[in-house]
Amino acid sequence: MLPIAEKDRRFWDKTAESYAESPIADEDTYQKKLELTRKYLTPESEVFEFGCGTGSTAILHAPHAKHILATDVSENMLKIARQRAEDADVKNITFKQAGIEDYDAGDREFDVVLGLNIIHLCKEPLAVMQKVNSLLKPGGYFIQSTACLSSSMPYIRPVLPLMRLFGKAPHVSMFSSKKLRGYLPGAGFSIAEDFVPGGRSAEFIVAKKVARISTGP
């Protein structure tokens, strides 16, 4: 897999404060996704979240899990996340700077992996899902919320390279809902539950690990 580009790290570091101040676009849909996620959390759940941003969702899920390891490529995002967790007196989240592509968990495995609004920002979505598979215990769950931009916003494809050249956008992978769902069997998952909001909201999919996929050479 390709490592996260330094240009992307700089983009998210630069936008961390404005990202933290941005309101949730669709509060009802957000609450629905929180509710669905918590069905798969228990007081014993070990959770891994990649692309955690400023930590808001991890903090809301923390009371429903034993521990959350929340990662992001941007240290500026994580500084905000750590302060938010401290302000909320949440002590069962560990924030770590890392990209999913190069994160090494060793022998550690998780009950649930969260990838919320991040898969479309990865260079190799299938390889990332295979990596997620390797992080999960047998029968564990991968919960993702993903924008399928080739379906909802195809017109941005021509301008993305120019925006990225001038540091105005990170890498974005364009794929359809059908392609997103097609990745899952090849990554060792079956869909346990899904939720597709109206408008341009990201698709929400709960996928269960049904086979172990090797990510090594």
Domains of the chain (ranges; CATH) run 6-209 (3.40.50.150)
- What does the pLDDT read at residue 201? 59
Which residues, in sequence order, are CB contacts of 172 under 8 Å at separation 6+?
120, 121, 149, 156, 160
Rounded CA gap, 19 and 16, in Å? 5
Q: β-pairing, 189-195 with 203-209?
A: antiparallel
Q: What is the pLDDT of residues 11-59, one digit of tens each?
A: 999 999 999 999 998 999 999 999 999 999 999 999 999 999 999 999 9
- pLDDT-derived band of residue 170, with 50, 70 and 90 as boundaries? confident
